[in-house]
Amino acid sequence: MLFKDRTAAGQLLAGQLKEYADCSDVLVLALPRGGVPVAFEVAKALNAPLDVFLVRKLGVPGQEELAMGAIASGGVRVLNRNVVRSHRLFEAAIHKTAVREQRELERREKLYRGDRPPLNLHGATVIVVDDGLATGATMRAAIKAIRQQDPARIVVAVPVSAAETYRDIQSEADQVICAMTPEPFYSVGLWYENFSQVTDAEVHDLLKQSKDNSQFAIRG
């Protein structure tokens, strides 16, 4: 099965999250940028507030698509020790990449949210949405950072995931909802007909739509 695009994937995923519809304690967090169109559809269907949670992949130098780890808001850093060992990566190289990605994380946070403070996650059921999981590095960083804010429950929701990553994430989140775990997996984009890059402008517009729509406006 191929998803037409991220919007269609979000609509399908929302159907698997019906138990969380119209619950006052549910918040939807999107991992930008690709997770935002998916999460927008989920939040709309569940009548829940939508916000972004900033995470940046740390790519292996020279092989940036391969994640050696990730950083998230709140100073969290998660490393994939297997990748670090197999590529013989030293702390200096990891630190250099982390510093660069931290600057981009801060830029995006300001661009997407502006002066609006992030949602209060304490005691909430937090549904964390991305467009798919390959290594899971960014999702692990997000879960670790969100846990520090003491939510009642973390639900990871993605349209597609590598099977091994899906099993690994199950041990870190309270629940994982995934539409499919195809094998062989190869990459997230392979399972979308349209996997064009999501722009900063699209993220900003979708967040504004969610905020302006009184049906699922951001709660303070």
Query: Percentage of residues in the chain with pLDDT exceeding 70?
Result: 96
Beta strands 153-160 and 26-30 are: unpaired
pLDDT digits (tens, 9 = 90+) for 170-193: 999 999 999 999 999 999 999 999
CATH number at residue 33: 3.40.50.2020
pLDDT given for residue 216 in this prediction:
46
Torsion, Cα of 135, 137, 99, 117 (10° steps): 140
Q: Is 141 part of any domain?
A: yes
Instruction: Provide the residue range defining the domain that includes 86.
Output: 6-212
d(CA 203, CA 151): 25
Is pLDDT of 214 > 50?
no
pLDDT at 57: 85
Supply 128's token pair. Answer: 């964390």
In three-state secondary structure terms, 45 is helix
Decide if 151 contacts 126 (C-beta within 8 A). Answer: yes
Q: What is the mean pLDDT of residues 82-100?
A: 89
Mean pLDDT of the chain: 90
Does 202 fall in a domain?
yes
- What sign has the CA pseudo-torsion 58, 63, 64, 66? negative
Supply 215's token pair: 């049906």
CB 142 within 8 A of CB 72: yes
- Amino acid code (one letter) for 118: P
pLDDT higher at 194 or 60: 194
Closest of 105, 123, 119, 148 to residue 216, by C-alpha = 119
CA proximity to 5, closest of 183, 159, 199: 159
- Does residue 1 belong to any structural domain of this protein? no
Q: What predicted TM-score, i.e. pTM, was given to this entire model?
A: 0.85
Q: Tell whether 43 is covered by a domain.
A: yes
| Dihedral sign for Cα atoms in the order 136, 154, 208, 105 | negative
Indicate whether 19 belongs to any domain.
Answer: yes
The rounded distance, in Å, linking the Cα atoms of 209 and 201 is 12
Cβ pair 60, 87 in contact under 8 A: yes
CB 56 within 8 A of CB 67: no
For residues 143-164, give the mean pLDDT: 95
Nearest Cα to Cα of residue 154 among 178, 174, 130, 131: 174
Is 70 a domain residue? yes
Indicate whether 188 belongs to any domain. yes
How many structural domains compose the chain?
1
CB neighbourhood size of 115 (10 A)? 5
Instruction: Give the number of other Cβ atoms within 10 Å of residue 102's Cβ.
Output: 14
Confidence of residue 43 (pLDDT cuts 50, 70, 90): very high
Q: Which residue, 186, 115, 139, is CA-closest to 29?
A: 139
220, part of any domain: no
